[in-house]
Amino acid sequence: EAGVVQSPRYKIIEKKQPVAFWCNPISGHNTLYWYRQNLGQGPELLIRYENEEAVDDSQLPKDRFSAERLKGVDSTLKIQPAELGDSAVYLCASSLFGTGKETQYFGPGTRLLVL
Amino acid sequence: DQQVKQNSPSLSVQEGRISILNCDYTNSMFDYFLWYKKYPAEGPTFLISISSIKDKNEDGRFTVFLNKSAKHLSLHIVPSQPGDSAVYFCAASGSSNTGKLIFGQGTTLQVKP
């Protein structure tokens, strides 16, 4: 069974530039999560989707971050414009449901460096 | 406000000995706890979980203990193996079933041959 796929794996951009990350969850998983992991910290939830609907985006900096999950499968997370403090690993995860009482399967992440 | 804390950034143990990783939480509404393991350049992978109705859950070499009164959980690895060297994160979710996991900062475990 294929796991969660993310691309690109690494991205280096200059500040004020836009950047986008793509995620393909495990087939059949209706819940998709985007996390951000800063250096030396644990992952922090940015947004959670159930199918196409964003059901928790309270931690998403909406002035510069946007996300979409078209057709309830793949998802894209965008930052525009990027700031130095956005340097982090962006992790995508998926699960069958969104109860928090089940395993969330993580992709390998996209490591973003903003110069 | 760090609701889930792993106060030991790193731990080093000898192969074959026990590894004990600790985690504290502050939110009494948390009722489900998980441990994830992370190797470099990979995403976290699920290891073991425990519901608040239990105080122990065991899976092979891995056992998680939950002390609700102390708001403390620990992960025991016995015996430790060099392949266990990784970063371990504890995570918690609440009774509202929102699906949101709150992660600790992680503990880097090194198992020496």
Mean pLDDT value of segment B19-33: 95
Q: How confident is the model at residue A1 (pLDDT cuts 50, 70, 90)?
A: low
Q: Which residues of B touch A56 (CB under 8 A)?
A: 98-100
Flag if B100 and A100 touch (Cβ within 8 Å).
yes
Q: How confident is the model at residue B100 (pLDDT cuts 50, 70, 90)?
A: confident
What values do phi and psi take at B24, rounded to 5?
-120, 150
Instruction: Identify whether the C-beta of residue B32 lies closer than 8 Å to the C-beta of residue B90.
Output: no
Res A104: pLDDT: 92
With 70 as the cut, is the pLDDT of residue A88 above it? yes
Contacts of A61 (CB under 8 A, 6+ apart): none
With 90 as the cut, is the pLDDT of residue B98 above it? no
Condensed to tens digits (0 to 9), the pLDDT of residues A12-42 reads 999 999 999 999 999 999 999 999 999 999 9
The C-alpha angle with vertex B18 and arms to B16 and B23, in degrees rounded to 5, equals 145
Q: Which residue has the tokens 């918690």?
A: B92
- Indicate the residue of B34, B42, B97 with minimum beta-carbon distance to A99: B97
Res B5: pLDDT: 96
Q: Which residue has the tokens 């760090």?
A: B2
